[in-house]
Amino acid sequence: MRKLVMSLCVATGALVSGCDTTARSADATEAPSVIGAAAVNTERLLNADSEPGSWLSAARTYDEQRFSPLDQINDTNVKALGLSWYADIDTERGQESTPIIVDGVMYLTTAWSMVKAYDIYTRAKLWEYDPDVTKNKAADACCDVVNRGVAAWNGKIYLGTLDGRLVALDGKTGKVIWDKQTTDINLPYTITGVPRIVKGKVIIGNGGAEYRVRGYVTAYDSETGEQLWRWYTVPGDPSKPYEQPELAEAAKTWKGDFYWQIGGGGTVWDGMAYDADLDTIYVGTGNGNPWNQAIRSPGGGDNLYLSSIVALDPNTGKYKWHYQTTPGETWDYTATQPIMLADLNYPEGKRRVVMQAPKNGFFYVLDAKDGKLLSAEKFAPLTWASHVDMATGRPVEYPEARYEITGKPVIIKPGALGMHNWHPMAFSQDTGLVYIPVQIAAASYAGPKEFKLNLQGTNTGTDFSGGAALCAAPGAQCGNLETYILAWDPVKAKEVWRIKNDIYGSTGILATSGNLIFSGNHKGEFNAYNATTGEKLWTAPTQARVVAAPSTYMVDGRQEVAILVGARGLPEGQIRTNAYSANNSRLLVFRAGGAAALPTAMPAVDPARLGVTIDPPLLTASNETVFAGEQAYAANCALCHGPNAVPGAGSIAPDLRYSGLLPIRNGWNPTVRDGDRAQRGMPAFGATLPVETTDAILAYVIKRANDEKAEQEAAVKKAAN
């Protein structure tokens, strides 16, 4: 019964057990006049510091520092922070978005590009939106079906969808205002990044570099969805006129004829920032396609504008300058990582800079005006280059790192996931430090014996097993090694301290004027640390791995911190407590004195909630068949779907009792036997199990679903009495 009470609490904010009962004070001075107005404009974004109680864009301001001037929660009182309320999320996989808080409403995205809007006063879910992305689109997403959030502008909420659409929704109702395809639907493009909005232009990129696409960033009219400009990151077919004059120059840095036929890569899938004084938007570009440069551009070349920070005019999309972090990249070293702007205090005076900690392990500080390189120091123990030559701005590579030239496999740091990935870093204007979620991994790179274009999946042009012998050698270090939060002084270009994670995994960061940084981890915690010293000051359980970054805002004069939790797999020893998500995906909201608690067991399911009902067909199979199915289930399915057909600790796959496939044997077989969802982690059993066995498993799951339904009906009856 606990669950029903909890969901009431979540749905209505009613003052019931399990809820923080200090919900609303009389003082509502900050209350917006129109809930859900989403009335964001240039002036409001530029003056974000004058309304610190809001969080107007994913990284809070155009500078994208993820720094809040709020200090009501601070290093002296953070211990009093408690869970105020939570909302179960009805998708699993990675939850990567940072909630934005505008005019009394919190907007966030979940896996599968879905949007949810909550009233921050009543905690009621106001609306939700599902773009109905075709689920086989997951095959085109390298790194899960994630989405990193929405943008608000002039009454509307904008998001990019995994299948490449840009969608404008009404901020009050979630109704679709326009929906625009931004990519060729026949190519493996995806969108996981946040749209940025500059003077009424919605700017969006996409992902898919190693799948055979050509990168670009596009601006659309926020009111109509009309395309205004597009900037390609790499040159296209040389027999056609170049779309932009600088692409003719860029083409001279490419060799051969293959790159433009498979797109070349360079996708703009995450980092961007805008400077209003310089009227410039900075975008980060991705890796080459394929990674292996000898295949992509035989004979070398810088391959502009891969792995670069590019400055563009947001009005026209005209190129201003670029800085390439990894010329001729061959290791999947993208420069799409978060980009932030700041005024740094150098001994010789203030300087407006662009900062990035891309995959390749160097921390770059550039002059925001002209892209002049100010510093490029290792923020992690990379082994592909010794340093960056400040005269040329180029990395000085170790020759053996170029496996595609030496023909020899090599182990280097970092591997393809980088020393820092999309996980948001933060900059504190008080401490002057940048807080970077660093991940140290080493990987072997080797050229393939033979390269064949793969139209279905990725085209890295490398052989992942080619370096296996190297990694197996005694003393060799390969794979995931450690992760930590690094406090980095961007002026001195050096480490100040680090906070090590017990369990490998990166998580986004928030810095506040309360001398705090907030970050989750993969052990199932949400933590606050002293921003000056790194001392851990507070912790709360999340029951889920955390990858997203939090945001903070004010409700009725009280500061709250919100974080979306959930990533693939559960923390060790954690059981499922969210019936709708195999990884306990949730929105968690904290405030001083918050006294809510997460459920400690998998709750009984409220059939009315979220439209998820248990509706199994009648069991018609014999006892013998069900018994055979039980044995086969335990041997083949329990590992991922949970023992006894109930997902438990460590279960990564959905609750089959709730599967809509149970009544449709014709639907069950393609998934279970033919590998229709193999790309999403559901193996094909057609070759290993006879059809009688998978039929028997189906009968057993139908039996278990009927058991569950009977239990729920009994619980509902009992509650009614």
C-beta of 488 vs 668, nearer to ligand HEC? 668
Q: How far is it, in rounded angstroms, from Cα 551 to Cα 472?
A: 43
CA–CA separation, 161 and 183 (whole Å): 11
Distances (CA, A) of 468 to 231, 320, 443, 476, 548: 40, 44, 10, 10, 32
Nearer to ligand HEC, 146 or 485 (CB): 146
The nearer residue to ligand HEC, 35 or 682, going by C-beta atoms, is 682
Taking the C-alpha atoms of residue 53 and residue 591, their distance in angstroms, rounded to an integer, is 14
Nearer to ligand HEC, 310 or 605 (CB): 605
CA atoms within 13 A on the CB side of 474: 0
Whichever of 318 and 680 has its CB closer to ligand HEC, that residue is 680
Residue with tokens 């692409």: 247
Side chain identity at residue 661, one-letter code: L
CB of 143 to ligand HEC, least distance (A): 14
| Comparison of 124 and 653: residue with beta carbon closer to ligand HEC | 653
Residue 677 CB, nearest approach to ligand HEC (Å): 4
Closest CB 693 distance from ligand HEC, rounded Å:
8
Q: Quick check: bond before 414 cis, omega within 30?
A: yes
Rounded CA-CA distance 70/598 in Å is 26
Measured between its terminal Cα atoms, the distance across the chain in Å is 13
Which letter, b or e, does each residue of 193-210 get, where b requires 16 or more Cβ atoms within 10 Å of its Cβ? bbbbbbeebbbbbbbbbb
Give whichever of 144 and 560 is closer to ligand HEC, judged by the CB atom. Answer: 144
Q: Which is nearer to ligand HEC, 561 or 702 (CB)?
A: 702
Q: Which is nearer to ligand HEC, 232 or 685 (CB)?
A: 685
Q: Give the pair of three-digit tokens for residue 507.
A: 């998580």
Between 130 and 367, CB nearer to ligand HEC? 130
User: Please, what is the minimum distance in Å from the beta carbon of residue 661 to ligand HEC?
Assistant: 5
Q: C-beta of 578: minimal distance to ligand HEC in Å?
A: 16
CB of 675 to ligand HEC, least distance (A): 11
CA-based Rg of the chain, rounded to a whole angstrom? 25
| Measured distance CA(132)–CA(226) in Å, rounded | 22
- Which string of x and - marks every residue 546-585 that binds ligand HEC (by CB under 6 A)? ----------------------------------------
CA distance 298 to 343: 42
CB of 391 to ligand HEC, least distance (A): 51
Q: Which is nearer to ligand HEC, 152 or 698 (CB)?
A: 698
Chain CA centroid to CA 186, Å: 24
Backbone angles phi, psi at 218, to 5 degrees: -135, 150
Query: CA 329 to CA 234: how far, in whole Å?
Result: 13
Tokens 């909890």, located at residue: 6
Give CA–CA dist 52/531, Å, rounded: 19
Residue 56 touching ligand HEC (CB under 6 A): no
Residue closer to ligand HEC, measured from CB, 262 or 582: 582
Binding string, residues 677-706; x marks residues near ligand HEC by CB under 6 A: x--xxxx-x-----------x---------
In the complex, least distance from residue 615 CB atom to ligand HEC, rounded to whole angstroms: 12
Q: Whose Cβ is closer to ligand HEC: residue 298's or residue 683's?
A: 683
Task: Enumerate residues 60-119 that contact ligand HEC by CB under 6 A.
Answer: none
Smallest separation, CB 332 to ligand HEC (Å) = 25
> Which residues in 619-678 contact ligand HEC (CB under 6 A)?
636-637, 639-641, 652-654, 656, 659-661, 668, 671-672, 677
Q: Which two tokens stand for residue 472?
A: 């197996």
Smallest separation (angstroms) from ligand HEC to the CB of 694: 6
Pair 518, 512: CB distance under 8 Å = yes
285 vs 636 by CB, closer to ligand HEC: 636
Residue 662 near residue 702, CB atoms below 8 Å: yes
Residue whose entry in the numeric block shows the structure tokens 């278990």: 704
- CB atoms closer than 10 angstroms to residue 228: 18
Query: Could you tell me the smallest distance in angstroms from the CB atom of residue 685 to ligand HEC?
Result: 5
For ligand HEC, give the closer residue by CB, 432 or 607: 607
Q: Whose Cβ is closer to ligand HEC: residue 167's or residue 582's?
A: 582
CB atoms within 10 A of CB 565: 28
> Closest approach of Cβ 127 to ligand HEC, in Å?
25
Q: Closest by alpha carbon to 540, among 556, 561, 513, 557?
A: 561
Task: Give the span between the Cα atoms of 554 and 655, in whole angstroms.
Answer: 37
- What are the contacts of 635-644 at 24+ separation with CB within 8 A? 636/685, 636/688, 636/689, 636/697, 637/697, 640/681, 642/576, 644/704
Binding characters for ligand HEC, 581-620, by CB under 6 A (x = yes): ----------------------------------------
- Shortest reach from residue 147's CB to ligand HEC, in Å: 15
Counting residues that bind ligand HEC (by CB under 6 A) gives 22
Cβ at position 556, least distance to ligand HEC in Å: 40
Phi-psi region of 715 (alpha: psi -120 to 50; beta: other; left: phi over 0): alpha
- The nearest distance, CB 11 to ligand HEC, in angstroms, is 25
Restricting to residues 410-469, name those near ligand HEC by CB under 6 A: none
What is the C-alpha separation between 25 and 140, in angstroms, rounded?
48
Question: Closer to ligand HEC at the Cβ: 510 or 579?
Answer: 579
d(CA 458, CA 41): 40
Cβ 679 to ligand HEC shortest distance, Å: 9
**C-alpha pair distances (Å), 329 with each of 212, 295, 307:** 16, 12, 7
Contact 58, 158 (CB under 8 A): no
As a whole number of angstroms, the distance between CA 690 and CA 37 comes to 57
Closest CB to ligand HEC among 69 and 670?
670
Q: Are the beta carbons of 424 and 338 closer than 8 angstroms? A: yes
CB 35 within 8 A of CB 171: no
Q: Cα–Cα distance between 401 and 443 in angstroms, integer?
A: 11
Q: Nearest CA to 105 among 122, 89, 93, 91?
A: 122
| Interface with ligand HEC (CB under 6 A) | 636-637, 639-641, 652-654, 656, 659-661, 668, 671-672, 677, 680-683, 685, 697
